[in-house]
């Protein structure tokens, strides 16, 4: 049983959020240690995927999809190559929160 006094384990994730509005169909690629709190603060319609990783991975994803990026933002135009990447990240997991719960559980188990 986990010690109630211990802070929750740190599990950094890169998130992919989808928004369809007057600005178009777009995807935000960002990172956080606390996805539920962070995502609650960002307007979006769909959580597409969570990918385990930190700012280094986020920067790589921004570079990977730089040709789709809206200038001065973390939002990217939806395109087949970005959606294919999101599908690969999901790895068949339908609910991204299931993957996050598994990562948190694994991090807790490593504490002993």
* Inside any domain, residue 37: yes
> Are 59 and 22 within 8 A, CB to CB?
no
* Inside any domain, residue 6: no
Residue pointed to by tokens 């001065």: 72
* Inside any domain, residue 3: no
**What is the C-alpha to C-alpha distance for residues 59 and 27, in angstroms, rounded to an integer?**
15
Q: How many residues does the chain have?
A: 112
- pLDDT bracket for residue 2 (50, 70, 90): low
Domain count, the chain: 1
pLDDT in tens, 54-78: 999 999 999 999 999 999 999 999 9
* Inside any domain, residue 1: no
Q: Domain of residue 71: give its range.
A: 13-106
- pLDDT bracket for residue 42 (50, 70, 90): very high
When the pLDDT of each residue in the chain is averaged and rounded to a whole number, the result is: 92
Instruction: Give me the DSSP letters along 9-75.
Output: PP--EEEEEEEEETTEEEEEEEEES-HHHHHHTS--SEEEEEEE--HHHHHHHHHHTGGGBPTTSSE
Bridge partners of residue 13, in order along the sequence = 32, 52
pLDDT in tens, 21-38: 988 899 999 999 999 999
Verdict on whether the full-model pTM lies above 0.85: yes
pLDDT in tens, 75-102: 999 999 999 999 999 999 999 999 999 9
* Inside any domain, residue 69: yes
Rg (CA), the chain: 15
Give yes or no for residue 9 having a pLDDT over 90.
no
> Are 6 and 111 within 8 A, CB to CB?
yes
- Residues 3-22 have a mean pLDDT of 86
- pLDDT bracket for residue 4 (50, 70, 90): low
């Amino acid at each position: 049983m986990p010690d109630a006094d211990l802070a929750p384990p740190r599990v950094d994730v890169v998130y992919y959020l989808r928004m369809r509005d007057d600005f178009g169909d777009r995807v935000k690629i960002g990172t956080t240690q606390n996805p539920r709190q962070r995502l609650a603060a960002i307007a979006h319609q769909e959580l597409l995927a969570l990918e385990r990783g930190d700012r280094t991975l986020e920067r790589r994803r921004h570079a990977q999809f730089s040709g789709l990026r809206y200038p001065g933002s973390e939002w990217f135009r939806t395109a087949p190559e970005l959606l294919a990447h999101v599908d690969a990240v999901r790895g068949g997991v339908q609910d991204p929160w299931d993957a996050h719960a598994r990562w948190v559980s694994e991090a807790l188990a490593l504490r002993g």
